[in-house]
Amino acid sequence: MAMWRELLSRSAWLTAGSVVGRLAPYAVLIALGRQLDPVAFASLSIAFAWASVAASLVTAALGAVTTQRLAADPGPGRRMLALRALGQGAAWSGLLTIAIAALGAPVAVRAFGDHLDPAAFWPALAHGLAWSLTLLVGALLNGLHAVRRSALVLGVGGIGQALGMGFGFVTGHSLGASLWGLALGSAASLALGLVLLHGALPPAEPCALQKPRFRLDVAWGTLANAAVTPVAFAAAALVTRHGAPAEDLAQYQALEQVHQLLLFAPGLIGQALLPLLAAHDRGSEAQRSLRPWVYRSAAAGLLAATLIGWRPEWVLHALGNPALTDLWATRWMLCNASLALALSLLHNELMARRLYAPAALLSLSWAAVFLGLGSLFGGVAGMQAGRLVASLLLFAAVCALTSRPFRSA
């Protein structure tokens, strides 16, 4: 019971921080949409969304691996590990930023056609650099079991971005000023995160830091992220092949938005669970307590999806999106979402066991099965059905892989 209370507490804090951190900037974006012309608002939205997504991916693998190592190591080596991870994250983010800067704004503008103003390039790049390191700091705090500080970084970070965009627009009344305000807000959030991390680090003590296969684990984690992230874009391209009507793409994107919304809470619960699974003194207990709930959550989710999908018309009516018309596509999407919690718990169990290579290979296999079957079945419903089959196979494979007793790294 103590572990579950701690898991609920961690999840609640991370959820609160993430919700505030995500809603605050979007509230300001909506407000600025009434003040900026359509071209400027499109550039602002694209720059904010893509820079934020890129930032979350740059240091995601490093954050996950370091979270596991910090939680599993109760000794003084945690301080050096956290500082080295922060240094590596800064070096990697900096090199990537320099590479993108070398390509220049014209390349970015060509990638988005006429929808991106060149003035958005440099502030978006600065925001992405600062926010990638802020997310890494949040992961380090989570690994140090300072979950409230991690939630504070995420929540205040979003508020800082919102205030920065609003202040920039009030002072400059332009797209560039708004985005430079966003970058300033992200930089201020990073500064706060570094202060909170300094207070959470254990005292400096002489120690021999052992980091076996650390960089290799980060590489495998990066490969897993690279396999999963572009899948939604590839699936959208497959949906529109062979002269499919524009309504198919609109319906797929609408279902994808609902799907991503339903994945939000399970993802946060998985993040909260990772340090508990990785801790030496709680790994076996957590694994034994977790496995029945994995099966229960999968069974309950599929049952709920089946009951809701029996008559999905009311779901489509409640969503109110005119693009949503395919009942079978909606049913398969609900079944996919129903497995999100179970798959999130299993994924973080793989991370806690340091099974990064199998996790990456399973992610690649999932993407291949998803896209292959989706292309074979065809249409929006076929793509959703292909993802469901891939997710069920992934669930079975991870359950088999993690059936052995837990051993802390």
Same domain, 129 and 242: no
Give the whole-angstrom CA distance, residue 145 versus residue 86.
17
- 334, part of any domain: yes
| pTM listed for this prediction | 0.76
- 187, part of any domain: yes
- Res 244: pLDDT: 64
- Res 281: pLDDT: 44
Q: Residues of 4-22 as b/e, b for ≥16 C-beta within 10 angstroms?
A: eebbeebbebbbbbbbbbb
Same domain, 252 and 377: yes
- 407, part of any domain: no
User: Can you give the residue range of the structural domain that contains 229?
Assistant: 214-401
- Res 205: pLDDT: 66
- In sequence order, which ranges of 105-210 are alpha helices (DSSP H)? 105-111, 121-143, 147-172, 175-200
- Res 115: pLDDT: 54
- Res 173: pLDDT: 79
- Res 232: pLDDT: 73
- 273, part of any domain: yes
Same domain, 24 and 159: yes
Give the side-chain half-sphere CA count within 13 A for 172. 15
Same domain, 223 and 372: yes
Same domain, 219 and 188: no
- Res 188: pLDDT: 92
- Res 34: pLDDT: 76
- 409, part of any domain: no
Last residue of a domain, one of 177, 200, 223: 200
Give the whole-angstrom CA distance, residue 167 versus residue 179.
10
Same domain, 159 and 292: no
Last residue of a domain, one of 143, 176, 200: 200
- 64, part of any domain: yes
Same domain, 139 and 273: no
Give the side-chain half-sphere CA count within 13 A for 114. 2
Same domain, 307 and 391: yes
Query: Residues 194-204: pLDDT tens digits?
Result: 999 998 888 76
Same domain, 223 and 178: no
Number of domains in the chain: 2
Last residue of a domain, one of 157, 176, 200: 200
Same domain, 170 and 258: no
Same domain, 41 and 137: yes
- 206, part of any domain: no
Same domain, 26 and 147: yes
- 408, part of any domain: no
Q: Which residues of the chain are modeled with pLDDT < 70?
A: 1-4, 7, 53, 74-76, 104-117, 204-212, 240-246, 278-290, 309, 316, 319-323, 404-409
